[in-house]
Structure 1
Amino acid sequence: MSNPFVGKSLVAMPRLEDPWFFRSVVCMAIHDAGGSFGVVVNNSLSDISEADVFRSIGMACSKCNQSRPVFCGGPVREDGLFVLHGPPFDWKSCLPITPYIGLSFSRDIVEAIAADRGPASYKMMLGCSGWSPGQLENEICENAWLVHTVSADLLLSLSADSCWDTVLQKMGIRPEFLAAEGGNA
């Protein structure tokens, strides 16, 4: 089976009012016969910082930043810590998504970040997003998502507030002209 969504962003259409995915941008990591998996990159958790995460797992942090947000990657495994990041990709549990972005979920990357030896660009997230086989394709056919090529610099650098609008603009779409309801020809 080909992987048409791996290395792509899913951009929520206005009609997708589910609170988990409203105005979300999802970086897709897996799409195969078993289903689809990715992380929301623009839903920051207002009450949890990177420093809070390190404290909660009992890890000392040399560069903890109280203002660096942690993101909600989605409604699946909400207690799981995931790191979406740029190079390097040699962590124990790293899933390379494109040559420029990977998703890791092992302690070694978290320890490296705490010691200021981790990737230069990254986002920490709690939870992930998943779809059963065929579910994502159905949602795309129902006009719930737009699909766009992942740009690591955008996904890792944009603030939660500007991400959705900026990705749409990069696609050549003016957000104010998107209709809540779509049609099929």
Structure 2
Amino acid sequence: MSESTSLRDQFLISMPHLDDRHFSRSLTYICDHSEYGAMGIIINRPAGMLVHDLFAHIELDYSRIAIDPMPVFKGGPIHPDRGFVLHRDDGRRWLSSHAISQEIRLTTSMDILEAMALGKGPKDCLVALGYAGWSPGQLEQEICDNTWLSCPANSDIMFRLPAEERLQAAAASLGVNLQLMTAHAGHA
């Protein structure tokens, strides 16, 4: 797969007819896409807990700073017990961090959470539990089956908009209003 056909650093917008408890009305940020498959983080599905709840659960002391209420997201159905932090690259390096683009990194090491608990983490970030994954060729087939739209990722949508506005904002970047689309799949 060439760099030009990769969906890395793209948004996947679920089509209205997608009836799946994990992916219905989801916006997924694709972190990796190659001949080996694809991996992404759902960025618009809050998990019902806040980051400071996660800190308390993993016994990180966050009492020295005031933490804005930031939701933890359900990143996908695979390894929902594993944490991921999507963030803008601010030049700092974390123990286990992967550059997705020049602007965005995915970090899985505890040091970033420790820094966040001290108020020294990345300014723009998103914490998720679990991820979405596709086997080789699966995502390409789902796109051919009209399950997903894709568009270039936008970090302002990812980090600045409320979760409930992200899906429609990504679709609008393509000139699409999902509310005007039918919930029934079809092929012309």
TM-score, length-scaled by structure 2: 0.92
Tell me what 1:58 maps to: 59
The partner residue of 1:167 within 160, 167, 170 is 170
| Counterpart-to-counterpart distance in 1, 2:96 and 2:119 | 19
Post-superposition offset of 1:64 = 5.6
Tell me what 1:2 maps to: 2
Give the 3-state SS of the residue equivalent to 1:6 in structure 2. Answer: coil
Tell me what 1:77 maps to: 79
Post-superposition offset of 1:19 = 1.2
Identity among equivalent pairs (%) = 35
- Structure 1 counterpart of 2:2, one-letter code: S
- Structure 2 counterpart of 1:145, one-letter code: W
Tell me what 1:101 maps to: 104
Unpaired segments ≥5 residues, structure 2: none
Q: Deviations over 1:59-118 (max 9, x none)?
A: 111346473211000000100010011122521211111212111101111111111111
The partner residue of 1:11 within 13, 30, 35 is 13
Alignment of 1:85-164 (within 5 A): 85-88=87-90, 90-164=93-167
C-alpha contact (below 8 Å) 1:5/1:28 kept by paired residues: yes
| Counterpart-to-counterpart distance in 2, 1:99 and 1:13 | 29
Q: Deviations over 1:106-159 (max 9, x none)?
A: 111111111111110101111011011111011101100000001111111221
Post-superposition offset of 1:171 = 1.6
Q: Mean Cα displacement is larger for which, 13-22 or 73-82?
A: 13-22
- Structure 2 counterpart of 1:137, one-letter code: E
The count of aligned residue pairs is: 184
C-alpha contact (below 8 Å) 1:84/1:123 kept by paired residues: yes
Unpaired segments ≥5 residues, structure 1: none
